[in-house]
Amino acid sequence: MENLNYKFYGVRNSQDLSKSGVYEIANVDYDTEIREKGVKSKKFVDRKSAEQFVKLFLKSQHLFFENGKVSRDKVDRFNQNVYQTTQDLKPNQAIAFTDGSYKDGKAGYGIVMFYKNKKLPISKPVKDDSKEIKAQNICAEIEGVKAAIKLAEKENITDLTIYFDSEGLADWVLGFNKSKRPLTRKYNDFYKEASKTLSITWIRVPAHHGVIYNEEADELARRAIM
């Protein structure tokens, strides 16, 4: 077994954002200072990875949450601003909202992609591979992200922002969760290769809370398996 010298905790505290951050393992008592309801923590060897783990969480919290709960006002504000954001994209930039769906042995994904003054809705079923379909919705979510990345590469995009609602999608490829299944290992390998030429920013949105293009991607994913 690999013996890693963990030095830091990355802490995501949804109840008290001020407690989210990076803690040195040697200088903190986990049970009294970190462990509590609403906290997700992970050990890291280096500070940079711990900071990235926390930053991904805080970005979503600041955009959509208040006191650990989805804020209707923040969602409305995001919806009001996101259209202008899509209109201000540079030729090398793109935004993709992705989602996946699974029902009765069928998986599919939906994408709403903005690039080069275009809005492109995509609705596609996942190819029926029995071993991967068993992963159900995760399979569809992963294929949606991969499709968005492939389209970005085809269109010579070098800066892609992905809005997603399934936590593991970013955590796997950023090294926060272990890729144990063949499906997630292949996804991780795909991402590593793509990120050599494509800068990818991840932003998690709350599912089924009215985030405009996430809702549209969800509907496209459902339509793909009808």
Contact yes or no for 12/20 (Cβ under 8 A): yes
pLDDT of 155 above 50? yes
Predicted confidence (pLDDT) per residue in 4-62, tens digit: 799 999 999 998 999 999 999 999 999 888 888 879 999 999 999 999 999 999 999 99
Calpha distance 179→182 (Å, rounded): 8
**118, two tokens:** 């275009």
pLDDT of 135 above 50? yes
Instruction: Band the pLDDT of 182: cuts 50, 70, 90.
Output: confident
Q: CB 156: neighbour CB atoms within 10 A?
A: 11
Rg (CA), the chain: 18
pLDDT of residue 136: 67
Q: For 77-81, which contacts have Cβ atoms below 8 Å and span 24 or more sequence positions?
A: 78/211, 79/210, 79/211, 79/212
Which residues, 6+ apart, have CB-to-CB distance to 142 below 8 Å? 100, 169, 183, 184, 187
Mean predicted lDDT score pLDDT of the chain: 92
Which residue would you say has higher pLDDT here, 148 or 182? 148
| Structural domains in the chain plus CATH codes | 8-66 (no CATH), 85-224 (3.30.420.10)
0.75 exceeded by pTM: yes
Calpha distance 154→156 (Å, rounded): 6
